[in-house]
Amino acid sequence: MADYESDLTRFIRELKGKQPDLERRQREGRAIWWDKELDPEQLERWQESKVPQKPYVYQSDRD
């Protein structure tokens, strides 16, 4: 059983073999969108500006 390799594992290994810079590009892409320092003042303003949502958003006030 030690010699078994799933299709997914084989696919990822082959993909990394064809694109050796794949992991570096993934890290760069993550840094663009997710790995950011949060500005405490901006975060506080964002939290204060939230508008409470009704429990059932599709119900009209005319009922």
* DSSP per-residue codes, 1-63: -TT---HHHHHHHHHHHH-TTHHHHHHHHHHHHT--PPPHHHHHHHHHT--PPPSSTT--TT-
Say what the pLDDT of residue 1 is.
61
Mean pLDDT calculated for residue range 41-63: 83
Say what the pLDDT of residue 63 is.
53
Say what the pLDDT of residue 52 is.
84
- Reported confidence tier of residue 62, pLDDT bands at 50, 70, 90: low
Say what the pLDDT of residue 4 is.
94
For 11-50, what is each residue's pLDDT tens digit? 999 999 999 999 999 999 999 888 888 899 999 999 999 9
